[in-house]
Chain A
Amino acid sequence: MHRSLAIFLAKRFLQAVLLVVFVSSAALLLVRLAPGDHLSSFDTDPAVVAAERHRLGLDRPFAVQYVEWLGRAVRLDFGESLKYRRPVTFLVTERAGNTILLGTSALVLATLIGLPLGVITGSRRAGAFATIARALSVLVLSVPPLVTSFALLLLALTTGWLPVGGIGHTSESGNWLTIVVARARYLVLPTLALALPIAASLERLQSRAMQDALEEPCIRAVLGRGLSAERVIWRHALRMSLAPVVGVFGAVVGSVLSGSFAVEIIMSWPGLGALMYEALVDRDLFLAAGCAAAGSVFLATGVLAGDVALAVIDPRVGDTA
């Protein structure tokens, strides 16, 4: 079993790598094809612009540029941003870190809220609490992160409890703990905005999976044997219900990534999404490709993590690969 699981994971890993290469190449191609070019300015002589273009190697045929880019990308050198005049790798990792922070916090929060709630509403069909929770879920999951960000922004601006916008300055003094605490205050709102709709969806998914699990013959049998309902629910049914939820983990990561895009822009959280958008509009070739690569790395990692988790929970997975 371990061998086939390892092979399965290796295949998925390879697919992920190919995906990253494809996505970043596609971004590069698209930006290249787009009308308009990065270089030009106010009082600039066309000859100077042409010279600069030549210096940066942008006037060579695309195939040549692409091969060269690919060669450097393998060494994780994604070139230099045309706008910031800094190495792309540096810019992307800086921003990517922020997006990872936001995404992970949101994911953790959503799971902590959504899964237990889903278990509760799934195992008790009736009851006021369950009904209200279900209704609330359907309501919240219909409110996209775009709108929750605004709502929370309004809340923050009126109450003034939490800082709005940005990531806070890092003061020179202070150890990492003070920095973390300072960051945390700015992290609360964006995380909430992103986590709430996802928590609601997770709740619905888990609830359904829980219901299905409780219907399963083996669970009914155990219930029939007289074991207390609590133990049955939390020990066995839970394990069975987790499988379908973990199975869509890749999609969850995808929606976290997509959702973070809007949240980052509204809350001025300096993350990958905002950087990518700027790069695209500025036709900043290498930066856009770098961002696309980073984005697809996240997604691929998320999917892979989901597959690993699924394999751990459900031993059957490895066999079907």
Chain B
Amino acid sequence: MTFLNARFAGAVLLGGITATAVTSGSVATHDPASQFSDYVLAPPMRIHVIDPSGDWHAPFVYPLRLEDRLERRYSEDRTRQLRVQWFHKGRLASVDDAEWFPLGTDALGRDVFARLVRGARLSLGVAATAAAVALVIGALVGGVAGAFGGLIDDLLMRVSDLVIALPGIYVAVTLRAALPLVLTPTEIFWTIAAVFAVIGWPIAAKGVRAIVAAERQKEYAEAARAAGGGRTRLLLRHLLPATQGFLLVQATLLLPAFILAEATLSFIGLGFPDSTPSWGVMLQEAGAGRVLVEAPWLLAPGVAISASILSINLLLRTPKLPA
């Protein structure tokens, strides 16, 4: 497995996931919040192409029938075949006359696939936002430290070292718990993003500082200074752009960590509220008792998280430790 292949695969996977997240409204098979009380913990409804008599058809689905409510037993109604409609009624794929749950339903009868897809937007959105903010803060801090040097440099780098030395998730949990527990989903989005950014900026800062300090010695920088430009101008115009490559790599390091951190926070109840379908919240259900044995499809968000992290790791040349 050469690295070129791996990077390509990673890019494709990441592209696919991002596209799904962005267009989640159309890709989802239902409204993620709709509850179907007659289909609690229904199994995934697979797409078939061969019917019971062995003939080939366009992709279709067998509708699900409730056998016993208390025991949550369902059976496929093989007498009916429902064609999968593509690009119909504003959805990528849908089925008429019946409910279609490609990945089954959860304990409240909500479509797992729809929630997964909407969750991509939430979980990846928070991670991406946090990464962006962390990088901006890190670049500024590192840039200032590298460009001005001296006492400021020392101070900022000490602070960075301190924050880096802390165990990530413990800090995230503490910071989040210190803030009011009752928040609306939008407020939580920005709170979590802020908390992650606070933990993530030092690593970027250190790297940026090293690059900026090195660049500062170079000839073109000396020339620019000689030409009369102020230090700030130098910083913004020349030195920081030189860190672009590094920042991109940092993004690929921060993103998996933040995706995981959001999942962990939401899983323990300090992240998104129960009603929002973030991947971490969906995992909460999977952890409840023996539910997993009866409904292994509830692990779908775990697979989604791993796939996202995998795609980013494939883009890297040397993967880092899971933080």
Indicate if A touches B (C-beta under 8 A): yes
CA A141 to CA B310, docked complex, whole Å: 8
**Contact partners of B303 in chain A: CB under 8 A:** 147
Interface size on A, residues (CB 8 A): 60
**Contact partners of A190 in chain B: CB under 8 A:** none
Q: Of residues 143 to 184 in B, which have CB atoms within 8 Å of A's CB atoms?
A: 162, 165-170, 173-175, 177-181
B241 within 8 A of A: no
**Contact partners of A134 in chain B: CB under 8 A:** 1
For residue A234, give the distance in angstroms from its CB to the closest CB of chain B.
23
Q: Of residues 1 to 42 in B, which have CB atoms within 8 Å of A's CB atoms?
A: 1, 6
Contact A258 B167 (CB under 8 A): yes
**Contact partners of A262 in chain B: CB under 8 A:** 169, 264, 267
Q: Of residues 306 to 323 in B, which have CB atoms within 8 Å of A's CB atoms?
A: 306-307, 309-310, 313-314, 318-323
Interface size on B, residues (CB 8 A): 47
A312 within 8 A of B: no
Contact A141 B173 (CB under 8 A): no
Q: Identify A280's interface contact among B6, B174, B290, CB under 8 A.
A: B174
Q: Identify B283's interface contact among A22, A138, A146, CB under 8 A.
A: A146
Interface string of A136-151 (1 = CB under 8 A from B): 0011011111110011
Contact A295 B167 (CB under 8 A): yes
Contact B180 A35 (CB under 8 A): yes
For residue B293, give the distance in angstroms from its CB to the closest CB of chain A.
5
B268 within 8 A of A: yes
CA A45 to CA B322, docked complex, whole Å: 49
A306 within 8 A of B: no
Q: Identify A139's interface contact among B178, B181, B268, B310, CB under 8 A.
A: B310
Contact B310 A142 (CB under 8 A): yes
Interface string of A120-146 (1 = CB under 8 A from B): 000000000001001100110111111
Specify the chain A residue showing the minimal Cβ separation from B167: A257
CA A159 to CA B303, docked complex, whole Å: 21
B302 within 8 A of A: yes
Contact A299 B166 (CB under 8 A): yes
B292 within 8 A of A: yes
Contact A251 B321 (CB under 8 A): yes
A118 within 8 A of B: no
CA A151 to CA B305, docked complex, whole Å: 13
CA A201 to CA B321, docked complex, whole Å: 6
Question: A19-B165, A254-B323 are known contacts. Are A158 and B293 too (CB-CB below 8 A)?
Answer: yes
A119 within 8 A of B: no
CA A281 to CA B287, docked complex, whole Å: 20
A23 within 8 A of B: yes
A14 within 8 A of B: no
Contact B165 A138 (CB under 8 A): no
Contact A208 B310 (CB under 8 A): no
A273 within 8 A of B: yes
CA A259 to CA B167, docked complex, whole Å: 10
A197 within 8 A of B: yes
Contact B323 A255 (CB under 8 A): yes
B256 within 8 A of A: yes
A288 within 8 A of B: yes
**Contact partners of B305 in chain A: CB under 8 A:** 144, 146-147
Contact B299 A151 (CB under 8 A): yes
Contact B178 A34 (CB under 8 A): yes
Question: A141-B322, A276-B173 are known contacts. Are A22 and B306 too (CB-CB below 8 A)?
Answer: no
Question: A251-B321, A273-B170, A295-B167 are known contacts. Are A150 and B260 too (CB-CB below 8 A)?
Answer: no
For residue B123, give the distance in angstroms from its CB to the closest CB of chain A.
12
**Contact partners of B188 in chain A: CB under 8 A:** none
Contact B292 A258 (CB under 8 A): no
CA A252 to CA B180, docked complex, whole Å: 32
CA A296 to CA B299, docked complex, whole Å: 32
B296 within 8 A of A: yes
For residue B202, give the distance in angstroms from its CB to the closest CB of chain A.
13
**Contact partners of B283 in chain A: CB under 8 A:** 146, 150
Q: Of residues 252 to 298 in A, which have CB atoms within 8 Å of B's CB atoms?
A: 252, 254-255, 257-259, 261-262, 265-266, 273, 276-277, 280-281, 288, 292, 295-296
For residue B74, give the distance in angstroms from its CB to the closest CB of chain A.
20
Chain A residues within CB distance 8 Å of chain B: 19, 22-23, 26-27, 30-31, 33-36, 131, 134-135, 138-139, 141-147, 150-151, 153-154, 157-158, 197-198, 201, 204-205, 208, 248, 250-252, 254-255, 257-259, 261-262, 265-266, 273, 276-277, 280-281, 288, 292, 295-296, 299-300, 303
Sampled A-B contacts (19; CB under 8 Å): A19-B162, A30-B174, A31-B178, A34-B177, A34-B178, A141-B313, A144-B260, A145-B322, A146-B263, A205-B321, A251-B321, A255-B321, A257-B167, A257-B170, A258-B323, A261-B169, A262-B264, A277-B268, A299-B166
